[in-house]
Amino acid sequence: MPDPVDPRRFAVVGHNEPKVDAYALVTGKPVFAGDASSDGALHIAFLASTHAHARITSIDTSRAEALDGVSLVLTHENTPATMYTTAGQGFPEPSPYDTRMFNPTVRFVGERVAAVAAETPEIARAATKLIDVAYETLPAVLSIDEALAPDAPIIHGEDEATGIHDAARNIVSVVDVDIGDVEAGIAGSAVAVDTTCETQYAQHVPIEPHVVRAYLDNDGRLVLLTSTQVPFHVRRIVARVLDLPVHRIRVIKPRVGGGFGVKQEILLEDVTGLVTLRTGRPAVAELSRPEEFVSSRTRHPMRVRVRLGATDDGTLRAVAMDVISNTGAYGSHGLTVMSNAGSKTLPLYNRAPDVRYRGRTVYTNLPVGGAYRGYGATQGYFALETAMDELAVKLDMDPVEVRRRNHIRVGETSPIFAAIGEGKPGVEQTVGSCELERCLDIGVEEIGWADKRGARRRDGPWVHGVGMSIHMQGSGIADVDMGAATIKMNDDGSFNLLIGATDLGTGSDTILGQIAAEVLGVPLAKIVVYSSDTDMTPFDVGAYASSTTYVSGNAVRRAAEQARAQITAVASAMLEEDAGGISLRGEAAIGASGNRVTLEEIALRSLYGSDQEQIGATASFVGDESPPPFLASFAEVAVDTETGQVRVVDYVAVADCGVAINPHAAEGQVEGAIANGIGYALTEEMLISGHGRVRNPTLFDYKIPAAPDLPRIRAILVDSYEPTGPMGAKSVAEIGINAPIPTIANAIYDAVGVRLRNSPFTAERVLAALDAVASED
């Protein structure tokens, strides 16, 4: 049952407040890192490796340095050898320290070999071509299978690297979990399914590529204005790499032009900062679109095998998931993305007493994996929800019904919650809110499931089908990630809200402001939100792991409640009434008697009158659990049986994200995630040559969905209330992206009877699958 708390009682929360940054964005104010003036700045360009695996035997920068306008050339010979990880995670990062600023051995085509700082971008780019590099090529590993071969070349044999599970076998990380006896469970089941799915190299494609501007402030401190999701991790990691005290660095996050995980990575800040420290001049680095594709980060491609055992009424008895994740040349997020392929998927089906998870992350000489919205769950759900569909087919049951029989419910738990964490064990938790049944009811109705499933409606060569899948994610990393917020009251009864939480376009500044406004009884306009400046705001781990609404939101709620208590105490003195009877609403404190005093009067008294003090508070929050949002996903597709082309005709995504603090923003998260997932399902794939070179690093050749490619995605939010969330909220940002691959694969099966197990489902792959079935007949 949903909590009896009715979200409609809120004055600000639950309302479609316009985004606090919307005016600046629609009027084109210079709010992004690349918009800052670059007058007097040096421009940085990179030279990239042309080999997948090679030792640099010599590097001669003299011709580049001699070019007029070149200020500095950086290579492995004149930069710090400190080992670190580029993954912007909490300390100590659960990713291996397997890279340095410039590596003397290059491990993928596109790895940076040198950087040039020059007066103009053109000069910098020209100078990179004057750097003479001699390589001794090494045998390269270009697939998961090659990485795991007994005699595979070793990719990280260097002594300095730490945190690698088994470097000699190219294994970055391992997770093994056994609950019960899965082999006996499967063997004893009436029905069994065994399916293996593989996902491709894909890139986040934020429309704003990575960009950083560095300069020295008047005290000689290094300031980094950077398009990042993790300003505090940037400060800590850059301090380590550049051997600076943390207090000598200030990181400012302006507006960010999309991140989706790729900006949870320290890619440019170290080099840009070093150029500024060496030259004393401002410096700017901005990735080109091809560099963004090849040299930044990607989604880890995975091979996921799922085996299910079930009774003949469709109740799961055993679930086994075996994951091999390809992290590419460096182990950024290698352990944790792989872990999440299991930890964010397996608890969904908690009926099975026997559960097994096997995860391996391997190095290859290919582009580097990183955090990407969904974070492993996306890959895991492809196989899990394909297997569930296959189970339904074997049982001749409605796929919706098979899910209904097995999904987790309120008051229930899963041993996987405690078994798999992020670099350490997870935490036990009991689900406090789950409206998945209602999500399914709505989805079935909206898509027209009963009429369309199995109907195979024909329209010329096009055959229609419907598919579905269900999902959960988390809300932050329990027991690891902390967010903090500071609130202070101003003369006019307004408040500054200072947060380390990192709005990368999601609207988190707005929804965190709404939470504060709700507690303090003021309109959102009276909350001045300032986020993500390591000098000015309290700590926050940043925007990842679906954490901001829940973790940072709870910190804001706490800080606001503490400020509210101080305000109430002043009001109590002013009204001569018991503080316990005083509430804040309409920008006033109202006593039990009905007498009122305005917040402005309270502020003026506290700042200038008597018992003077700054009303305000700082509060922190770490989740001791990570409440999962839930999603039921339904799609209708049309498959062109002559060409193999797949068109998504209708998409319904019904989400339980607790109370939606700002429904427009929450819907937008689901709509955008589904759109991104549809691209991932149908067209997006980094094509890689036999030499490890990405062949399509442009937006012409790597096709992300444009407006005409998509149906009107229907995001529906169900009423729900998460007891531990701020105002009943939990997360919503990632979950949607997990859905389209299995939903569309299952819809293709419904339409034409072929099972697609390798994404993306391009026309070529679908046609080949259709041909294979035809030749069997």
Partner 1 sequence: MSTTITLTINGTERPVAVELGDSLLEVLRREGFTSVKHGCDTGDCGACAVLLDGDAVDSCMILAISTDGRAVTTVEGLETDGHLHPLQQAMIDTGAVQCGFCTPGTVMTGIDLLSRNTDPTQDDVKTALAGNLCRCTGYVKQVDAVLAAARQMKGGPDA
Q: How far apart are CA 70 and CA 55, in angstroms?
A: 26
Q: Binding residues for partner 1, how many (CB under 8 A)?
A: 58
Residue nearer to partner 1 on the CB measure, 1 or 26: 26
The residues with which 191 forms a beta bridge, in sequence order, are: 310
Cβ atoms of 737 and 677 within 8 Å: the answer is yes
DSSP label at residue 300: P
Is the sign of the CA dihedral 410, 416, 419, 420 positive or negative?
A: negative
Helices (H) and strands (E) in the chain, counts: 20, 29
Cβ atoms of 659 and 722 within 8 Å: the answer is yes
x/- track of binding to partner 1 for residues 289-318 (CB under 8 A): x-----------------------------
Q: How far apart are CA 735 and CA 550, in angstroms?
A: 14
Contact window for partner 1 (CB under 8 A) among 182-190, 215-223, 672-680, 717-725: 672-680
The residues with which 472 forms a beta bridge, in sequence order, are: 630
Residue nearer to partner 1 on the CB measure, 650 or 671: 671
Is the sign of the CA dihedral 143, 147, 152, 155 positive or negative?
A: positive
Residue nearer to partner 1 on the CB measure, 248 or 647: 647
Q: Which of 93, 265, 269, 286 binds partner 1 (CB under 8 A)?
A: 286
DSSP label at residue 738: G
Q: Does 674 bind partner 1 (CB under 8 A)?
A: yes
Residue nearer to partner 1 on the CB measure, 25 or 244: 25
Q: Does 756 bind partner 1 (CB under 8 A)?
A: no
Cβ atoms of 653 and 636 within 8 Å: the answer is no
Within residues 693-722, the interface with partner 1 by CB under 8 A covers: 698-700, 704-708, 710, 712-713, 715
Residue whose structure tokens are 């309270």 = 602
CA-based nearest residue to 592, from 615, 560, 616, 568: 568
Closest approach of Cβ 35 to partner 1, in Å?
4
Q: How far apart are CA 495 and CA 525, in angstroms?
A: 10
Q: Does 14 bind partner 1 (CB under 8 A)?
A: no
Residue nearer to partner 1 on the CB measure, 38 or 315: 38
Q: Does 252 bind partner 1 (CB under 8 A)?
A: no
Q: Which of 504, 567, 649, 770 binds partner 1 (CB under 8 A)?
A: 504
Q: Which of 505, 513, 616, 628 binds partner 1 (CB under 8 A)?
A: 505
Cβ atoms of 559 and 619 within 8 Å: the answer is yes
Closest approach of Cβ 558 to partner 1, in Å?
27
Q: How far apart are CA 752 and CA 729, in angstroms?
A: 40
Q: Which of 88, 90, 257, 628 binds partner 1 (CB under 8 A)?
A: 257
- Say whether 728 sits in a helix, a strand or coil: helix
Q: Which of 205, 519, 543, 752 binds partner 1 (CB under 8 A)?
A: 205
The residues with which 325 forms a beta bridge, in sequence order, are: 302, 361
Closest approach of Cβ 702 to partner 1, in Å?
9
Q: Does 353 bind partner 1 (CB under 8 A)?
A: no
Q: Does 265 bind partner 1 (CB under 8 A)?
A: no
Residue nearer to partner 1 on the CB measure, 715 or 727: 715
Residue whose structure tokens are 């026309």 = 763
Sheet strand arrangement including 302-310:
171-179, 354-363, 316-328, 302-310, 191-198
Q: Which of 18, 139, 157, 581 binds partner 1 (CB under 8 A)?
A: 18
Residue nearer to partner 1 on the CB measure, 187 or 706: 706
Cβ atoms of 529 and 19 within 8 Å: the answer is no
Q: Does 69 bind partner 1 (CB under 8 A)?
A: no
Q: How far apart are CA 81 and CA 84, in angstroms?
A: 9
Residue nearer to partner 1 on the CB measure, 103 or 669: 669
x/- track of binding to partner 1 for residues 381-420 (CB under 8 A): ----------------------------------------
At position 297, the amino acid (one-letter code) is R
CA-based nearest residue to 362, from 97, 165, 89: 165
Residue nearer to partner 1 on the CB measure, 259 or 476: 259
Residue nearer to partner 1 on the CB measure, 321 or 675: 675
Q: How far apart are CA 239 and CA 428, in angstroms?
A: 35
Residue nearer to partner 1 on the CB measure, 329 or 654: 654
Q: Which of 53, 76, 165, 204 binds partner 1 (CB under 8 A)?
A: 204
Contacts of 456 (CB under 8 A, 6+ apart): 463, 464, 465, 750, 751, 752
Within residues 19-48, the interface with partner 1 by CB under 8 A covers: 19, 21-32, 34-35
| Contacting residues toward partner 1, per CB under 8 A | 16, 18-19, 21-32, 34-35, 204-209, 255-258, 260, 286, 288-289, 504-507, 662, 664-665, 667-668, 671-676, 698-700, 704-708, 710, 712-713, 715
